[in-house]
Structure 1
């Protein structure tokens, strides 16, 4: 759009003509001319960013990358000459990006400081400070990584540290040295030292959790690299089956690091939940319950179970003993919170049993003298909480028995409708006696059975008409037979003859 204003030669020849202050002060000057150096700088910078991604697989493109950044800086300087006040930060920023690529850290920091009005420059400034030797910048860089402000931080910091302190070629764990060959694993182990310092200096619990989440992601990638290397190499695969190869020991070490950092993360989640429970606060809009803490301790115990099953350490007695001592301590916490759950369900006998078991676990763990002083202090506090909780559960149990008796008495009182005359020997607060229809005596009285006297039956017998039972007893047939025999005798003797 501006080419028509500034002719770049004639029809036959090209002659480059840059935008100068004269073009901006002419009578027919247009502000659109400022877009020419700006777009040229942006184009060169965008091309450099593309080359940076391609340089991961084609290292020779790194020289082209540096050349494009130089070009972007030159166009930014042209823009700075045209509008010094407005383009000062932009030109300083591009100059700082070029110096970072050239690894001129102090000069890069000075250029980026001049352009600090742009918030996105803070990661680059801290990275320059880290490379100059400011170890405090490592924590800021890790925190920015958690916010998504810096990509590929692990490799950048590891490469910088490697250049200052030498290359990590091997690692020693549980009395055995193992060579670290995969570059990604080596860079992770170098960066892990800065991670631990960042976790220790994090301002609050959530920041520590975020840093540990990043550690776990990087550790997972390193484990995948080792597994892929074992899978793709037949010799390593055959050696791994014997559980004696160095790369298998390195894999166990990385798995150990992942599980240990997972336990640290879960302990921070427990700490966060306990603080919220103590202040009646919420986490993600939900109130913390004993069920949540029980679940977290169950996860921690599951992590320790996985530590016991690490390849090559199933028969290592000292290692298994260390893990078992840790598990016994965390079982005490789990039993304590299970007892709280049972108390809320009013299952007091089971709650007392779990508290007793938690007390035994805590006592045994304290006697074993754990290496973790913080865990030992928590067990001391837990033991006091268990004792107080026992008294509370016992008191709740007694009160529940009294409530049951009172409830059953009230229910019996409401269900029993005896009149007052039938319960004179029983004290009862019956408000119905004071009403208009008191339950004192039942009127009319109910019928009662009384014993009968023999005289009553003697008198009644005279007035009773009994039914005729001749047909059933055979008396009627006997009468008929008697009449027939008498008539026969009378006829033979001539008695009873009819008079003629």
Structure 2
């Protein structure tokens, strides 16, 4: 009894530990050692190296039980309440759990890149279970020890709950994952409200935002009817929050919702003048997906959600086309009839092109909502839409459906009016007012043609997005734009507005050295606003040609045979002798002899003789 009393008194005398912010320790380590760039391998190496250093420094190393005639058995030294002598011992539980979590994430990334490696899923789950084991042990030590304060206990509880939730989430145990994640979120929200430290409050709220998409996904999977929990809009938001490669379970849930919404067992299409029953499961699923997409579009609130829907549907359609093409190739080699398959493939091609054009229209809608959009950007998108609609009429089997051909001809004319409007807007932005005015007039004529064709095809089922009201709005925009272009054109003719070329001519940015003898005006106020200055000299200076000594002599000229001019020289000498007979008597013969000998001897041995030994040596 006395020993127990002494032990209790010693325990009461031990001072309390300071507050340990577990989430801050984890986030700092992750940001500094790889997870800023998603490098889990680097983070796992850091955790392993840190644990090894800490075990050696605190003399808390693992042991080996040596037995006679048997190999030594590894005995892990676990963290207990008695072994926690100072606050640094908590790092064993934190980083053991983080190391196992990093190993699990490495396996998950490998599984996403290579789905055929299904064994990686088991190793990932085992690593997460070990991480939960260390996190739960840490929570137990902190909760049972009286030396830790309430914030530390709450953080340990939230961290262990989050780790259990992640393990259940990856194991597809949605009920347990939802309970654990809700507990972690509740604790972190309470901690964010209680603390006055803005850094800690930001960390706690950030963890709550990380938990929300996974918690919502658990609720979708738990519900017996997914439509009772939420709409497709929420699923699309979850998909964008978790990223394209965040989790495949979102796409899987979307496919399950679509499959449950379309319960038809037999899918029949009408294309190329014949009705065909679709037997291939992939093609059947894609056709049902497009029917469900038309319903889901009414639930989408933003253009980005529509873009995500069309992108997913077109990607699945491409896969279905590839699969049907393989079947056609295999049956053609067996000399089997592939008429039905060809019709199904053409119908899938039509769905893909129509969906791609609809995706471009969603991009146009999203671009118009942005403030920094330019007419040139919309012009390219409308070009793509028009080209796709032209290709639809050339699809095999489309010629049998007159309604389709007429509808897509109207679609082409409809979007040509919009393309012409944005082309005129582009010319107007470039201050080419004459071209812009002509294009605005052409836009009005295209609008009238499109309106006339739309009125004739009111009951056509292929025309859904093209309406008379949008053409009326476009007409009002064209009229206002024509007025502004006409005013700008008159102002430019009067000299009030200068075009870009004229402005470029007035702004002279040459250096002072180049314009010393010229007078020019410089707008000081505008130059100070734009932070433009006049350079004194252009550096580096421009290169100019300068005479210099040749590096090599032109020796090739001395190999040319010069013409014999002896007869001309003799004739000239006779003429001189006739004019001055006294001089010819004295020096005529010597002059003729010198001139006759010069080209044969001294001329050939002049510069060539002097230079020949410099480069190749003397002979």
Q: TM-score range by the shorter chain?
A: 0.5 to 0.7
Matched, 1:382 2:474: yes
Q: Say if 1:14 and 1:354 are closer, same or farther in 2 by CA, change over 3 A.
A: same
Matches within 5 A, 1:132-147: 132=223, 133=226, 134-136=229-231, 137-144=234-241, 147=243
Mapping 1:249-264, distance limit 5 Å: 249-264=343-358
**CA 1:4–1:366: 2 relative to 1, 3 Å:** closer
Is the Cα–Cα contact under 8 Å of residues 362 and 383 in structure 1 kept in the other structure?
no
Q: Paired residues, what number?
A: 388
Give, in whole Å, the separation in 1 of the partners of 2:270 and 2:356.
Answer: 20
Out of 280, 305, 309, the position equivalent to 1:181 is 280
Distance 1:154 1:178 in 2: 30
Task: Give the deviation of 1:128 after TM superposition.
Answer: 1.2
Structure 1 pair 93–177 and aligned structure 2 pair: CA distance change class (3 A): farther
Rounded to whole Å, the distance in 1 between the matches of 2:85 and 2:369 is 70
Partner of 1:19: 78
| Structure with more contact order per residue of length (Cα contacts < 8 Å, sep ≥ 6) | 2
Contact 1:339 1:352 (C-alpha < 8 Å) held by counterparts: yes
Cα distance, 1:261 vs structure 2: 2.5
Measure the CA separation in 1 of the matches of 2:407 and 2:415.
13
Q: What is the CA deviation profile of residues 265-286 of structure 1, one whole-angstrom value per residue up to 9, with x for unaligned ones?
A: 322343345556xxxx423xxx
Is there any run of 5+ residues in structure 2 with no aligned partner, and where? 1-51, 144-152, 186-203, 496-619
Q: Does the 8 A contact of 2:174 with 2:218 survive in 1?
A: yes
What SS does structure 2 have at the residue aligned with 1:266?
Answer: helix
- Tell me which structure has the larger Cα radius of gyration: 1
Q: Which residue of 1 aligns with 2:97?
A: 38
Q: Distance in 2 between matches of 1:162 and 1:372?
A: 22
Deviations 1:410-443 (A, max 9, x none): xxxxxxxxxxxxxxxxxxxxxxxxxxxxxxxxxx
Q: Distance in 1 between matches of 2:61 and 2:418?
A: 79
Q: TM-score, normalised by structure 1?
A: 0.61
Q: TM-score, normalised by structure 2?
A: 0.51
CA spacing shift, 1:153–1:15, aligned 2, 3 Å: closer
Quickly say closer, same or farther: Cα 1:48–1:336, change in 2 above 3 A.
closer
Describe the shift of the 1:54–1:68 C-alpha distance in structure 2 as closer, same or farther (beyond 3 A).
Answer: farther
- 1:94 Cα deviation from its structure 2 partner: 3.2
User: Which residue number in structure 2 is paired with residue 94 of structure 1?
Assistant: 163
Partner of 2:410: 325
Mapped partners of 1:154, 1:394: distance in 2: 54
Distance 2:139 2:299 in 1: 41
Q: Secondary structure at the match of 1:14?
A: strand
Query: Compared with structure 1, are the counterparts of its residues 249 and 181 closer, same or farther at alpha carbon in structure 2 (3 Å cutoff)?
Result: same
Structure 1 residues 314, 258: closer, same or farther in 2, change over 3 A? same
- 1:171 deviates by 3.7
Matched residue SS, 1:57: coil
The 5-angstrom pairing of residues 7-156 of structure 1 reads 7-12=63-68, 14=73, 16=75, 19-25=78-84, 30-31=89-90, 33-34=92-93, 37-38=96-97, 41-42=100-101, 45=104, 49=108, 52=111, 56-57=115-116, 66=125, 69-83=128-142, 85=153, 86-116=155-185, 118=207, 119-131=209-221, 132=223, 133=226, 134-136=229-231, 137-144=234-241, 147-148=243-244, 150-153=246-249, 155-156=251-252
Residues in 2 aligned to 1:394 and 1:159: alpha-carbon distance in whole angstroms: 54
Checking the alignment, whether the CA contact within 8 Å between 1:92 and 1:111 is kept in structure 2 is: yes
Identify the match of residue 365 of structure 2 among 252, 271, 280: 271
Q: Residue 346 of structure 1: CA displacement? A: 0.8
